[in-house]
């Protein structure tokens, strides 16, 4: 289908990568909609296809390139934005002539004007990448006064003196799901030797609690029932606001918002997960007893080379402290195998941890060198063949252990937030299942009198687990906990 010929230009916004990117896309969508663009996620008939790329690991970068190449076949102008575009800039533009423009984060405030230029055939010079950590003061508490573009931080043209709840929310929802991400912060101050994210995302900057509460209330007004708090490192939230306990205080406030039935924290760093935060997550009504902990490995020698802290026993103690407060708490993590210097003994230590940890979901990644990281220059590299063998072994173990953990939940009661209702299936997520990454729960008829036909997306029901298939559960609803009401507004 050719691009639109109407006076209102049409942009298709395609998002790759993590939930943080999804928030950034909804900021871009709001800026474009406010300036007269018709925003969609469907490339059919678009004047411009804007791809919010991911630049985290090699596979994600390949997916971004493939998406850009596919978009070029539609006849629309193609624009690359997001992490990969920010990270590579001119290099990406030169190697991918199919993209009509490659934008950096600094282009976001003027995105509508930039896309107008692209639509009319103007040639734009791609930016030269720079280390965005250098744009902000070293001292965290001084960063809020710096004039630096930070995607997803809801900057508006309203005077900063205006209370947050009176400012227009700079966000336009791109779907109608009852769950949405809420960005706590951007950037990271950690120096993990395998990770390039801080260099192109910048130093850590928190959003203020009043901004977050205002956006959360707006999201609730659009029909959102579950908030997923995202950032590069959620356990650092508040350190630049002068309050290291800011997340512990914020969680109950978010859970108390009218219409919100579940708040989920994600991206927790084990070394920074304090006892008070564990208690808040495990015991606060409306907050999911869910621990998304970034372990990465459990062998001390490997963790030290990663520039991280912890050990198998310390990580097990952390999980035990959470389960002492909430026995059915969910827990997930990601792990890298084949890191430079990893030995067979290190792999056995990781196997010991995984076997004892009883995690609900486990992500396994095979190590590969990333541009600009310290680990890329390490010696004692593990051969690709050995990396693949270890990856296959750990992945197989992870799948077996997660399936066992799901089986342990058969017969228990879970609270399921319904995501979708189809002709043949009602699908939702229990408290230990985050969107996209942790499996789902399918609801089927039982003997408890709950009418499946009356259920709708956004309902929160209590259900009894009757079977498991891998990490996925099948359950029968036994009681309605909180029925979704008609939202007061839809979108920006």
Cα gap 103→80, rounded to integer Å: 6
Cα gap 358→361, rounded to integer Å: 9
Structure tokens given for 255? 């859970």
402 is annotated as contributing to ligand binding: no
Cα gap 123→52, rounded to integer Å: 20
Of 152, 104, 219, 134, residue with least CA distance to 489: 219
195 is annotated as contributing to ligand binding: yes
Length of the chain, in residues:
492
Residue 362 C-beta-side C-alpha neighbours within 13 Å: 29
Structure tokens given for 8? 């209102």
The answer for residues whose C-beta is within 8 angstroms of residue 52's C-beta and 6 or more apart is: 13, 14, 15, 16, 17, 21, 24, 25, 28, 81, 82
Cα gap 186→24, rounded to integer Å: 11
Neighbours of 484 (CB within 10 A): 18
83 is annotated as contributing to ligand binding: yes
Of 52, 48, 58, residue with least CA distance to 19: 52
Residue 436 C-beta-side C-alpha neighbours within 13 Å: 11
Query: Which pairs count as long-range contacts for 395-398, CB under 8 Å and 24+ apart, including other chains?
Result: 395/364, 397/351, 397/354, 397/355, 398/335, 398/354, 398/362, 398/364
192 is annotated as contributing to ligand binding: yes
18 is annotated as contributing to ligand binding: yes
Residue 337: C-alpha distances to residues 11, 316, 364, 373, 392 (Å): 40, 19, 7, 17, 10
Edge-to-edge strand list for the sheet holding 330-337? 290-292, 330-337, 361-366
Structure tokens given for 319? 């999980």
Known binding positions for [4Fe-4S] cluster: 18, 54, 83, 188, 192, 195
Known binding positions: 18, 54, 83, 188, 192, 195
């Amino acid at each position: 289908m050719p691009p639109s010929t109407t006076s209102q230009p049409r942009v298709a916004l395609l998002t790759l990568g993590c939930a943080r990117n999804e928030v950034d896309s909804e900021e871009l969508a709001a800026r474009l909609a406010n300036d007269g663009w018709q925003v969609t996620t469907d490339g059919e008939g678009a004047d411009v296809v804007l791809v919010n790329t991911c630049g985290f690991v090699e596979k994600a970068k390949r997916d971004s390139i493939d998406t850009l190449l596919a978009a070029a076949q539609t006849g629309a102008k193609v624009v690359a934005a997001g992490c990969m575009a920010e990270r590579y800039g001119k290099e990406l533009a030169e190697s991918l002539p199919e993209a009509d423009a490659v934008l950096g984060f600094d282009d976001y405030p003027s995105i509508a004007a930039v896309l107008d230029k692209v639509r009319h055939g103007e040639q734009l010079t791609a930016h030269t990448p720079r280390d965005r950590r250098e744009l902000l003061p070293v001292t965290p508490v001084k960063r809020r006064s710096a004039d630096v573009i930070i995607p997803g931080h809801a900057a508006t043209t309203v005077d900063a003196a205006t209370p947050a709840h009176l400012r227009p929310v700079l966000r336009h929802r791109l779907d109608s799901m009852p769950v949405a991400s809420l960005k706590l912060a951007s950037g990271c101050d950690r120096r993990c030797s395998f990770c390039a994210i801080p260099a192109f995302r910048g130093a850590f900057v928190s959003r203020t609690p009043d901004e977050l509460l205002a956006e959360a209330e707006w999201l609730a007004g659009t029909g959102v029932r579950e908030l997923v708090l995202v950032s590069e490192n959620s356990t650092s939230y508040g350190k630049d606001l002068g309050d290291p306990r800011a997340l512990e205080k914020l969680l109950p406030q978010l859970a108390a918002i009218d219409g919100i039935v579940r708040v989920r924290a994600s991206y927790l760093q084990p070394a920074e997960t304090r006892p008070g935060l564990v208690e808040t997550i495990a015991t606060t009504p409306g907050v999911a007893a869910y621990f998304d902990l970034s372990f990465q490995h459990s062998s001390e020698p490997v963790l030290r080379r990663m520039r991280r802290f912890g050990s198998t026993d310390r990580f097990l103690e952390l999980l035990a402290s959470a389960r002492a407060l909430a026995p059915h708490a969910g827990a997930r993590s990601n792990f890298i195998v084949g890191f430079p210097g990893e030995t067979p003994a290190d792999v056995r230590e990781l196997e010991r941890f995984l076997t004892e940890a009883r995690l609900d979901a486990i992500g396994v990644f095979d190590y590969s060198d990333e541009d600009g990281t310290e680990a890329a220059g390490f010696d004692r590299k593990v051969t690709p063949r050995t990396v693949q063998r270890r990856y296959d072994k750990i992945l197989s173990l992870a799948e077996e252990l997660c399936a066992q953990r799901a089986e342990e939940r058969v017969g228990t009661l879970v609270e399921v937030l319904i995501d979708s209702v189809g002709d043949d299936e009602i699908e939702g997520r229990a408290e230990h299942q985050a969107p996209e990454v942790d499996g789902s729960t399918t609801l089927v008829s039982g003997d408890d009198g709950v009418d499946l036909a009356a259920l709708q997306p956004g309902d929160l029901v209590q259900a009894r687990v009757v079977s498991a298939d891998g990490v996925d559960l099948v359950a029968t609803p036994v009681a309605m906990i909180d029925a979704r009401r008609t939202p007061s507004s839809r979108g920006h």
